[in-house]
């Protein structure tokens, strides 16, 4: 399967991917919906205007007109599959309709470098899970000691907290160092000031397509009908603020100052060929959480830092989505089992995805073991936590034969506290 648009082997966006995003040429333009193909964006809003696609026919309503993907995401899986078929056919190398029509091509195919990606979804609610066993164990050891590393509930429920949707930002948005209350181990009283232990968290997140009614749980068998697609997530964390505030109600200001996401939503249909078995679950979860088959995905996740005063991105961690203990279907079934309703556009993030060894940890807290084992940068500098001017980049992709299903990247640069 190939497009008439040239796609390099290491491009994140071959014809097999077709992720959805929102973009604009400048501030004056109402944002358009599009799908990525090679270095181009196929403009779905323009394609609809030109009669290449007709969402009223396919979805029963106009879905690409209002500058977010919510309308489109709220459609059924059948509608999403139908659109995927239509777009695949329009971009196929054997279809002359767009390929041989110079005017249509110039209207509907836009160079990625000429636009700015926008927030693709109006996010109603944001939940962050804590689903990597290695991460939960590492943090547990650091804060509570080896004997009590995993809390007694951890192997029985996908632990999570409600995050803040208003501060979810698109890749490329600068992150202002948060201020807050912290208390040093040996201090008698807390103090106030800029966070000194600013960290990233390597995560992915999935977006809810079709929601559920309040009081009607989504069963694990039906969970996949409600999941639209996935993005990369950096769940920025101020460890010192978090440590002082989190007892007894959990994360608050140490978390809600910013969460960054990648701009392209990779659909579950595109990820389908990369399904693999998840981690073995012992003890067996309760029946409502019982998951079977290949319910994880083989997604390589790389973390880079572009240190302040440097032009070079340096690889600091290599992890994989498959390192999650709880899968996305279990997360969704658990989240709604009490009757909690999901709405189209809700974001559910995985929690920090740490692998089994030191080079696959998903946060600086773990990579530097709370700052006690700093990372040596190529400049000779030592990195413990994020400094003003540092830029953090997460990339992710599934590697197929001669093609990859990529997520692009999520990046953010730390600005000094205000």
| Binding residues for Mn ion (CB under 5 A) | 128, 201, 235
Catalytic residue among 32, 135, 226, 334: 135
Rg of the chain taking only CA atoms, in angstroms = 22
Which one, 254 or 345, has the nearer CB to Mn ion?
Answer: 254
Q: Are the C-beta atoms of residues 172 and 410 closer than 8 Å to each other?
A: no
In angstroms, give the least distance from the CB of 260 to Mn ion.
12
Token duo for residue 394 = 């997460």
Which one, 201 or 409, has the nearer CB to Mn ion?
Answer: 201
Which one, 68 or 132, has the nearer CB to Mn ion?
Answer: 132
Rounded CA separation 277/270 (Å): 17
In angstroms, give the least distance from the CB of 251 to Mn ion.
8
In angstroms, give the least distance from the CB of 398 to Mn ion.
22
Distances (CA, A) of 71 to 213, 268, 345: 17, 17, 9
In angstroms, give the least distance from the CB of 203 to Mn ion.
6
- Output the CA angle 223-227-228, nearest 5 degrees: 160
> Within 10 Å of residue 183's Cβ, how many Cβ atoms?
15
246-265 in b/e form (b: 16+ CB < 10 A) is: eeeeebebbbbbbbbbbbbb
Which one, 205 or 209, has the nearer CB to Mn ion?
Answer: 205
In angstroms, give the least distance from the CB of 351 to Mn ion.
5
In the block, tokens 């890749």 appear at 171
Which one, 235 or 409, has the nearer CB to Mn ion?
Answer: 235
Specify whether 156 is catalytic: no
Positions marked active-site: 135
């Amino acid at each position: 399967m190939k497009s008439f648009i040239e796609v390099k082997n290491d491009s994140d966006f071959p014809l097999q991917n077709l992720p959805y995003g929102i973009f604009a040429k400048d501030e004056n333009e109402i944002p358009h919906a599009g799908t990525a193909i090679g270095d181009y964006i196929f403009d779905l809003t323009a394609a609809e205007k030109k009669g290449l696609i007709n969402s009223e026919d396919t979805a029963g309503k106009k879905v690409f007109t209002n500058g977010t993907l919510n309308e489109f995401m709220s459609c059924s899986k059948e509608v999403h599959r139908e659109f995927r078929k239509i777009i695949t056919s329009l971009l196929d190398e054997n279809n002359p309709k767009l390929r041989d029509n110079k005017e249509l091509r110039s209207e509907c195919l836009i160079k990625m470098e000429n636009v700015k990606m926008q927030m693709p979804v109006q996010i109603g609610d944001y939940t962050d899970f804590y689903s990597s066993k290695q991460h939960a164990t590492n943090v547990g050891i650091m804060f509570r000691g080896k004997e009590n590393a995993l809390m007694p509930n951890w192997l029985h429920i996908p632990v999570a907290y409600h995050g803040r949707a208003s501060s979810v930002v698109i890749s490329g948005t600068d992150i202002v160092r948060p201020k807050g209350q912290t208390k040093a181990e040996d201090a008698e009283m807390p103090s106030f000031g800029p966070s000194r232990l600013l960290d990233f968290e390597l995560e992915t997140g999935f977006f809810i397509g079709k929601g559920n009614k309040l009081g009607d749980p989504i069963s694990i068998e039906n969970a996949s009908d409600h999941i639209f697609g996935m993005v990369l997530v950096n769940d920025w964390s101020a460890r010192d603020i978090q440590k002082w505030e989190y007892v007894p109600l959990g994360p608050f200001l140490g978390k809600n100052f910013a969460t960054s996401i990648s701009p392209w939503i990779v659909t579950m249909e595109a990820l389908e060929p990369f399904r693999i078995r998840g981690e073995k679950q012992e003890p067996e979860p309760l029946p409502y959480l019982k998951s079977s088959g290949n319910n994880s995905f083989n997604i390589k996740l790389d973390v880079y830092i572009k240190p302040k005063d440097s032009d070079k991105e340096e690889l600091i961690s290599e992890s994989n989505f498959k390192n999650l203990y709880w899968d996305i279907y279990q997360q969704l079934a658990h989240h709604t089992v009490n009757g909690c309703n999901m709405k189209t556009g809700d974001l559910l993030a995985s929690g920090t995805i740490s692998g089994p060894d030191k080079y696959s940890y998903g946060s600086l807290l773990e990579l530097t073991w709370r700052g006690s084992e700093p990372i040596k940068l190529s400049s000779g500098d030592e990195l413990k936590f994020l400094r003003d001017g540092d830029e953090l980049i997460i990339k992710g992709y599934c590697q197929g034969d001669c093609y990859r299903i990529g997520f692009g990247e999520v990046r953010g640069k730390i600005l000094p506290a205000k």
